[in-house]
Chains A and B, each alone.
Chain A
C-alpha cells in the first residue's frame, strides 16, 4: 500500500542537476577548494622538514633544534588556521546550496497538479519531504565536502610525492589495483544493502512506535503476543540486513587496509634499495615514507564517504522526480460565458478499465443548492471532484459557462469553483494566517464576517489571543469540528460562485452542523452549492437532491418529490427520520 506514486528522476537528471548545483557559485567553490588545498600543502611541509632533518643529522650538518621545532610548529599552526577558514567557507557554500535545494523542492511540491495531489495522498510526499530532505542534508553537509577535501588532499599529496621523487612514486602504484577492485566490488552491492538496512531499521522503530501508540488497542484485543512476535520479527529482519552489509565490509575493509599498508612498506623497502644504489637521497626516502603514510587519511575518508554519496543521490532522485509530474491541464483561450455548470455524459476511471462513473449528466443552475446522497463508493466524491475541475472526465465534458473546467488556468478555476472536503487541516501559524490563505489582502472585518458566517466567531474571540492565536502543530489544539469551520470560513473569504462541499460538516456536532449550514446558506445566498451529504437534513434543506448509486444518478429532484416517489431516497428518509415522511412539515 505504500505506493510510490510520484515519479523518480533518472540518473542523467540527477547528474545534470548536481553539476548545475556545484557550479552555481564558482567563486565560492574555488575559494573553498583553494583554502583546503593550501591547508593540505601546509600539512605536507612538516614531513618534508623531518626528512631534511633526518638527512642533516645523518651527514652531521649543524642543526638548530629550536628553529626546526619552531618551523614545524609554525606550519602546523598555519595548517590549523587554513583549515579553519576552509571549513567555514565550504560550510557557507554548503548551507547556501542546501537551502536552495530544499526551497526549490518545496516550490515544486506547491506546483504539483491538482489531480496528482488529490490522488497521491500524503504518504509518499511526506516521506520525500522528511526523510529524503534529511538524508540529502547529511550528504551535502558532510559527504560532499569530506569527499572533495579528501580528493584535493590526496591529489596534492601525490603531487608532493612526485616533486620529492618520481621514482619513489612507483611503490604507490602497487596499491592501486587492490583498492580499485575491492572498492568496485563493494560499491556494486553496498547501495542496495544499505537501503535494505535502513528500511528494516525504520520498520523496526515504526513497529515500536505503533505498539506504544496503539497500546490501548493492544490491550483491548489482547495483541500482546502478536506485537511481541512482530517486534522480534522486525529485529530479526534488521539483523539480517545489518549482517549482510557487515559481511560486505568484512571483505572490503581488510582489502583496503592492505592497500594502505603496502605503499608504506614498499616505499621503505624500495627507497632503501634506491638509496643504497645512490639513486635517491636519504631525505627523499624519509619524506616519501611519511607521505605514503599521510596518504592513508584522505584516501580512507574518501572511501568511507562514497556510499553516503550514493544514498544522497537516491534521495536527490526522489526530490527531483516531483518535477517530472506532467501538468494535468493546458489552459485554453475560451472564457466562460455565465455560471451554468454542466456535466454531460461523464465517465471516469481511476484505474484503466474500471469506470466509477457511467455516463452521468447533470445541470446545476446558478444559485441552486444541490445535495448529493448515496452509499459510499457510489461515486459521489468522484463526481464532486469532476464538478470542481480537479480531474478531467475520461469521456464527456464538465463545463462552466460553456468552457471545460480543465481548460481554465488554475487561478481562474479557483475563482469559479472551489472544493472543500472533510479533510481538515490546520496550518501552523496564527488563526488569521489560516484564513488569509484564501484571500491574502482581506481586511479584519471581512475575516470576522467569514468567521461569523460559519458560527466560529464566538470561540475564536474567546481565545486569549483571538485571531493571533498560534494554531497547528505545537500551537493551540483546534478540534476537528472547529477545523472544519475554519475551512468553510476560508471558502467564504475566497468567494467563488460555485462551491462543492464534500462532507464538509461531517465532523461537527449534528445540531451545530445544521445551524452552521443555515447561517452559511445565508452568506452564500446566490452562490451555487453542491453538497455531498452524510446527514439527510442537508438533503431536506436543498433545492434538489441527486441520489448517486453505482456510478449513476438514479433519482433527481426536490426532497418532497423524491419522498413522494417512494424510491430508495424515500426509504432512507423514513428510516432516518423515524416518522413517516409525509407528516413532516
Chain B
C-alpha cells in the first residue's frame, strides 16, 4: 500500500458521474485488482467450508479416524486461509476507500482554490457541506464495495456450479431462488427509504433547533424564555422519536424477511437434499453441506443488495462533485504588463494617486463595494492601471499587486502568526508593527501562546471587532502595491478607530491605499476624499474641505448629526 495522499491527483474525467468514478478506479487499478483478488478468494474459502465440514461429518458417521483428522486439518487450513484473505481484503478495502475519498478532496480543494471569488457566487454553502460530509464517503464506498461485490458474484456462481454438479434441479433452484430472494425484499425498500428520509429531515431540523438554542443561549439566559424553548425542543424530539419508530416498523419487517426468505430456500434445499439422502444418492454428510450452502448464500446475497445501493449513492455523489469540478472562473486575465501608477475606474471616476491614502465615502455602501470590486478586478469594468487596461494583465499579477480586503474575507485555521503573515516573509518586527498599526496587540497578548496560538474554527472564537483588526493586520502584512480596504473599522470602537486611522497612513506610507468608509475619524486622516453618490464621484477634496463645501457629504459622514 503506497502512502497517501498522492502528490498529484491528476486531471479528473468530468464528462459524466460514471466517468468520474471510472477515472478514480483507473487511478487505483493495482490496489483495486489486488483487493478484488483477495475478496474473491475470501468468499471462495467460505464457500468451500460447508463441503469440507460435510466431509468431516461423513468421516464421523463412518467412524473413520484417519479421514476425520485429514478433513479436520483441511478445515483448519481453510480457517487460516480465511483469516488471512479476510484481513487482506479488509486492508485493501480501507485503502481503496481512502484513496478515492482523498483524491476527491484533493481535486475539489484545488478546484475551489482555482475558482476563487467565482465559487461563492455559484455555489450554496449547503452544497459544499454535502461534499465534505457525505459525498467523499459515498465515492469511497463505491470503490470499497467493488471488492466484496465482485467477490460475492464469483462466490454465488461457484456454489451454484457445485450444487449443479451434484444435482441439476438443486443447482437450478439455487440459481433462480437466490436472485428471487434478493428481488422479493424490493417492495419494502421504497417505504423504508421514504421513512428514513423523513427521519433524517426531522433529525436535521432538531439538530438545527439545538444549535439554534446554543447559538442564542446568551440571549436566552439574559432575558428569559428558556421554558418556551425547552418545550419546543421536546416537541421536535418526540417527532423524531415517532419517525424513528416508523422506520423501525419497516426495518423490522425487512429483518424478519431476511430470515424468512432465505429460510424458505434453506427448507426446500434441505428437503430435497434429505430426499436424495433417503434414496442413497448422496452421503448423509453432504446433506449438512447443502444446508450450510443455503445458509452461506445469505452473505453474498446481502452484499449484492449493498453493492446496488452504494453504487447508486456513489453515482449521485460523483454528479455533485463534477458539478463543482466543471465550473470555470468568471474573469480571466491577459498577457499584458503595467508599470503601475494611477489606478482609475472610469465609470465612477474614482482615481487613486500613487502613494496616496485615498478615501471613498459613498452615501450607499453598495456603491463603494462595487467600486472596490472593479478596481480589484473581481467584477468586469473599465479600469486603467497606469497606461494599461487592467483586464489585459495576467490575473495572478493583478492579485499580487492589488489586494482588496473586505469584511467577508475569512481567517483560516492555523497558527496565528502563519495566518497573519500569509507569505511567510515578514520579520517578527514587521509583524508587531502591523499589529500595532491595526491596534491588535491586545488580542495577541491575551492569547495563551501569543502569536503561536492556534486560530480555531476560522477565527470564530474572536469577536467581530477582533476578527476585523486581525484581517487588517493580514492585509497590511501582504504589503501590496495597491491596498483597497472596505470598511476596515466598522466593528471597532471610536477610540480604537481613531488610533487605527492615525497609524494606517504611517503603515502604508509611500504605497497606494484606498479606504471605503464614512467614518469622520478615518476620513479626517486621509490625504484625499472622494464623495460618491449614485455610483459616481460627486465631490472631492480633503475631509475638512468637503465638510464645508458639500452639504450632502457632511450629511453622510456626520451621521444625522445636528
Contact = CB atoms under 8 A, between A and B. Distances in A.
B534 interface: no
A135 interface: no
A106 B57 contact: no
Contacts of A250: 87, 91
A225 to B, nearest CB: 8
B61 interface: yes
Contacts, number: 495
A257 B46 CA distance: 12
Given A106-B233, A107-B230, A436-B228, A213 B87 contact: no
Interface string B42-66: 0000000000010011011101010
A264 B560 contact: no
Contacts of B245: 88, 91-92, 95
Contact of A376 (B133, B257, B288, B496): B496
A550 to B, nearest CB: 11
B75 A239 contact: no
Contacts of B562: 584
Given A427-B212, A437-B223, A376 B493 contact: yes
Given A232-B106, A286-B57, A68 B271 contact: yes
Interface stretch (B14-22, B248-256, B503-511): B248-256
A94 B558 CA distance: 63
A120 to B, nearest CB: 9
B109 A126 contact: no
B23 interface: no
Nearest to B501: A575
Interface in A528-584: 533-537, 572, 575-579, 584
B413 interface: yes
B112 A69 contact: no
Contacts of A357: none
With most chain B CB atoms within 10 A of its CB, the pick from A65, A494, A535 is A65
B409 A578 contact: no
A269 to B, nearest CB: 4
A95 B244 contact: yes
A221 B474 contact: yes
B559 A535 contact: yes
Contacts of B128: 209, 212-213
B63 A235 contact: no
Given A72-B266, A473-B212, A572 B493 contact: no
A428 interface: yes
Nearest to A249: B90
A80 B257 contact: yes
A272 interface: yes
Interface in B202-233: 203, 206-230, 232-233
A159 B456 CA distance: 55
B412 interface: yes
Interface stretch (B149-157, B307-315, B345-353, B400-408): B400-408
B72 interface: yes
Contacts of B230: 103, 106-107, 110
A265 B454 CA distance: 57
Main secondary structure of the interface of B (DSSP, over half): helix
B210 A122 contact: no
Interface stretch (B31-39, B161-169, B383-391, B517-525): B517-525
Interface in A222-258: 222-224, 226-228, 230-232, 235-236, 238-239, 242, 246, 249-250, 253-254, 257-258
A437 B260 contact: no
A57 B284 contact: yes
A208 B396 CA distance: 22
Interface stretch (B116-124, B175-183, B333-341, B354-362): B116-124
A261 interface: yes
B464 A422 contact: yes
A231 B278 contact: no
With most chain A CB atoms within 10 A of its CB, the pick from B413, B494, B520, B547 is B494
A357 to B, nearest CB: 15
Contact of B410 (A213, A419, A575): A213
Given A84-B256, A205-B132, A275-B60, A224 B114 contact: yes
B495 A68 contact: no
A286 B288 contact: yes
B400 to A, nearest CB: 6
A299 interface: no
Contact of A506 (B86, B114, B491, B496): B491
B56 A268 contact: yes
Interface string B122-147: 01010011011100100000000000
A575 B524 contact: yes
Contact of A72 (B5, B79, B226, B270): B270
Interface string A284-312: 01100110010000000000000000000
A257 B86 contact: yes
A109 B454 CA distance: 27
Main secondary structure of the interface of A (DSSP, over half): helix
Given A63-B274, A95-B244, A289-B53, A130 B207 contact: yes
A578 B558 contact: yes
Contacts of A575: 498, 520-521, 524
Given A57-B274, A123-B456, A374-B493, A289 B57 contact: yes
Contacts of B218: 117-118, 421, 423, 425
Given A68-B274, A205-B132, A374-B495, A414 B224 contact: yes
B413 to A, nearest CB: 6
A286 B402 CA distance: 83
Interface string A387-428: 010100000000000000000000100100011111101111
Nearest to A92: B245
Contact of B221 (A83, A114, A433): A114
A576 B4 contact: no
Contacts of B221: 112, 114, 117-118
A534 B492 contact: yes
Contact of B252 (A69, A85, A576, A578): A85
A423 B491 CA distance: 12
A330 interface: no
A275 B63 contact: yes
A216 B120 contact: yes
Contact of A213 (B91, B125, B212, B251): B125
A87 B252 contact: yes
With most chain A CB atoms within 10 A of its CB, the pick from B263, B264, B439 is B263
A217 B212 contact: no
Interface stretch (B189-197, B235-243, B428-436): B235-243
B413 A54 contact: no
Contacts of A155: none
A418 to B, nearest CB: 6
A81 B256 contact: yes
B456 A228 contact: no
Contact of B61 (A58, A206, A269, A418): A58
B240 A99 contact: yes
A118 B424 CA distance: 36
A253 B80 CA distance: 12
B217 A577 contact: no
A50 interface: yes
A440 B207 contact: no
Contacts of B422: 221, 223, 226
Nearest to A548: B495
A231 B106 CA distance: 7
A166 interface: no
Contact of A54 (B76, B233, B256, B284): B284
Given A80-B263, A491-B223, 16 more contacts: A50-B270, A79-B259, A91-B247, A110-B213, A110-B230, A114-B222, A213-B120, A215-B115, A220-B403, A221-B478, A253-B90, A257-B83, A272-B59, A289-B53, A425-B219, A437-B229
Question: Which are the 3 A-B pairs with shortest beta-carbon distances?
Answer: A219-B116, A69-B271, A76-B263
18 contacts: A1-B456, A65-B278, A72-B266, A83-B259, A88-B249, A122-B215, A220-B403, A222-B396, A231-B110, A232-B5, A265-B79, A272-B56, A272-B63, A272-B68, A286-B57, A286-B60, A514-B560, A577-B520
